Amino acid sequence: MCTCRPRQCRAISSNAAWAESRVLIAFNKPFGVACKFSPEPGKQTLADFIKLPNIYPAGRLDTDSEGLLLLTDEGVLQTRITEPRHKLPKVYWAQVDGAATDEALAPLRKSVDLGDFVTLPADVRVIDEPAFMWPRVPPIRYRAKIPTTWVELTLREGKNRQVRRMTAKVGFPTLRLVRASIGFVSVESLKLGEWREIGADAPWRKI
């Protein structure tokens, strides 16, 4: 028996119906794949992997970046995922050039002036290479005398090439960039180039 008030019950039913009527796709985008469905000479696009009609990326992931991309057929849902005012955290794993330390990355935890905009404070920490990480094709450049470091950054905004610009600002250029999660949706259960349909409320619902 439902114990909620009539107005609450209507709201719950309305939200459930809204979620069921929308399509949301989680895709593990490989390096070198353009984040669009229209053809691009010499490059793979989303159309090479996803054959569903009338869906579009909810935000961008650069051609030279990898990992989680969400796609939907609904404009309101696309806005909720992409706009910073909805405060949906996005986690990135960056393999950077040099021996980065938590102390050296400390400026990124504050607002950083990148010239054309000032970033919001980010959560940043040094991590081990993720155990499930797939090999990149082609691999990053290797220099025997210069180490690399994996860094995890959590952002609540998404400016053009922001992560790369942030790590370069503190002296550690990004060599490889993987988006690990958007809200509660993670890339970890997806093989490279694989996609699956998820619930429209999945980015906000902790499983």
Q: How far apart are CA 205 and CA 196, in angstroms?
A: 17
In order of 111, 157, 160, 166, the CA distances from 106 in angstroms are 10, 18, 22, 11
Report how far apart, in Å, the C-alpha atoms of 187 and of each of 29, 44, 90 are.
Answer: 10, 20, 11
Q: How many degrees, rounded to 5, is the angle at CA 33 between CA 136 and CA 28? A: 65
Catalytic residue among 62, 64, 73, 201: 62
Catalytic, 201? Answer: no
Q: How far apart are CA 134 and CA 127, in angstroms?
A: 16
- Give the residue among 53, 73, 58, 127 at the shortest CA–CA distance from 96: 127
Distances (CA, A) of 35 to 18, 44, 58, 179: 26, 9, 10, 13
Query: For residue 22, what is the enclosing H or E element?
Result: none
Torsion angle, alpha carbons of 182, 185, 186, 189, to 10: -150
Active site residues: 62
